[in-house]
């Protein structure tokens, strides 16, 4: 890709740590409501990561009330991400954990990996 | 100040605005341009400014072209284009850069040459519907159908739409918002797409329809 294009693109957000599928993370997101700015939390499991430079992103899945699954995709380089806490790594054998979508309760658990 | 520049399309990417939202942008390497000639109603019958862009080796130009540039002690330039301007407020020999001409938030028109598509059918070229897919049809799916009337007039009117050469046309993308100006690297970023291939020549001017 052209060096000129790279020059105007955003750099990696330093607040985003190394993530891998299966990680349980807490994403702190800056939200603007009118003139107020507040921080919103989103806690869940990373079910996929996608490359693509400027458009690289990752998806976090969490189980909201009544057992409804909610997935949210964040851009890796988004300046809105304030920080990310990785709470737990999990032992997974694939890069995209789409099988979690069909599972609920006990079967949706992932085995913890200690590094 | 004349609101016009010549540039080269670099490519597309996305950037984040102050609110953190993603904006699709086309990056254009715009200028630096030189004012090679100012056309006046007294001499030329209309008023315009001729700009030059892209410095090259002198041997790439003919003697006449070099002479034209030499009048104002300008370097050899690959492209010369005119911009209509009533009172341009520039004089021959001036150097124009993006930082001076455009600022973030302005609306501009970008003129380029669209990508050539070759000889194309009427479905792709003019969005004809084509023929039916079923009911015993064969070889009719992308056919243009009838092009004219019957015995009267007994011919196809000139200009009737049909298959032919598509692309490589002069296309103007109107009212694009300037989202990025980098005076150091001579880069201009506009929201949305711009006609033409990467590396293609584009003209940038203030938006006509505001």
User: Which chain A residues have a beta carbon less than 8 Å from that of B9?
Assistant: none
Residue B15 forms part of a structural domain = yes
Tell me how far apart the terminal alpha carbons of chain B are, to the nearest angstrom.
18
Contact residues, chain B, for A79 at CB < 8 Å: 16, 20
ipTM for this prediction: 0.75
**CA triple B162-B168-B173, angle to 5 deg:** 100
* pLDDT score, position A1: 65
- Among A3, A5, A34, most B C-beta atoms within 10 A, so best to mutate, is A5
Q: Evaluate whether B166 touches B127 at the Cβ level (below 8 Å).
A: no
Task: Note the pLDDT tens digit of each residue in B7-26.
Answer: 999 999 888 888 888 999 99
Q: Are residues B173 and B86 in the same domain?
A: no
**For chain B, what is the domain count?**
2
Same domain, B8 and B111: yes
Q: How far is B49 from chain A (nearest CA, A)?
A: 29
Closest approach of B27 to chain A, Cα-based (Å): 7
B52, B58, B61, B65 alpha-carbon torsion, rounded to 10°: 60
Residue B79 · residue B201 · CB < 8 Å:
yes
Q: Based on the domain organization, do B3 and B63 belong to the same domain?
A: no
The alpha carbon of residue B133 is apart from the nearest alpha carbon of chain A, in Å, by 38
Per-run averaged pLDDT (10 residues), chain B, 210 residues: 89 87 91 88 89 89 88 89 85 84 91 95 93 90 90 91 94 93 89 93 90
Same domain membership, residue B39 and residue B77 = yes
Residues B112 and B199 in one domain: yes
pTM attached to this predicted model? 0.82
Other Cβ atoms less than 10 A from the Cβ of A55: the count is 13
Looking at residue A108, what is its pLDDT?
86
- The minimal CB distance from A9 to the residues B13, B20, B198 is found for B13
CATH no. for residue A19? Answer: 2.30.30.790
| Chain A touched by B16 (CB under 8 Å) | yes
* Dihedral (Cα; B59, B115, B196, B126), 10-degree rounding: 140
Q: How far apart are CA B63 and CA A65, in angstroms?
A: 78
CA distances from B56 to A2, B10, B53 (A): 21, 19, 9
Q: Which structure tokens are listed for B188? A: 């201009």
């Amino acid at each position: 890709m052209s060096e000129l294009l790279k020059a105007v693109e955003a750099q990696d957000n330093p607040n985003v740590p190394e993530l891998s599928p299966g990680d349980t993370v807490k994403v702190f997101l800056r939200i603007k409501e009118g003139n107020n700015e507040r921080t919103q939390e989103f806690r869940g499991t990373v079910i996929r990561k996608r490359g693509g430079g400027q458009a690289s992103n990752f998806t976090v899945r969490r189980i909201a009330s009544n057992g409804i699954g909610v997935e949210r995709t964040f851009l890796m380089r988004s300046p809105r991400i304030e920080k990310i806490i990785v709470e737990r790594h999990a032992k997974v054998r694939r890069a995209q954990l789409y099988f979690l979508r069909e599972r609920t309760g006990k079967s949706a658990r992932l085995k913890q990996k200690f590094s | 100040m004349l609101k016009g520049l010549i540039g080269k399309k670099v490519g597309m990417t996305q950037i984040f605005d102050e609110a953190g939202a993603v904006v699709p942008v086309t990056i254009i390497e715009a200028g630096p341009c030189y004012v090679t000639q100012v056309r006046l109603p007294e001499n030329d019958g209309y008023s315009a400014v001729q700009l030059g862009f892209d410095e090259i080796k002198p041997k790439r130009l003919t003697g006449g072209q070099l002479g034209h540039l030499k009048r104002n002690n300008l370097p050899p330039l690959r492209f010369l284009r005119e911009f209509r301007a009533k009172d341009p407020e520039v004089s021959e020999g001036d150097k124009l850069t993006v930082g001076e001409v455009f600022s973030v938030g302005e609306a501009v028109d970008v003129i380029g040459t669209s990508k050539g598509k070759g000889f194309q059918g009427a479905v792709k070229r003019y969005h004809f519907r084509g023929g039916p897919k079923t009911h015993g049809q064969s070889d009719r799916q992308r056919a243009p159908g009838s092009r004219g009337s019957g015995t009267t007039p007994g011919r196809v009117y000139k200009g009737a739409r049909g298959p032919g050469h598509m692309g490589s046309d002069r296309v103007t993308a109107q009212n694009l918002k300037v989202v990025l100006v980098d005076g150091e690297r001579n880069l201009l970023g506009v929201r949305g797409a711009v006609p033409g291939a990467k590396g293609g020549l584009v003209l940038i001017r203030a938006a006509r329809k505001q």
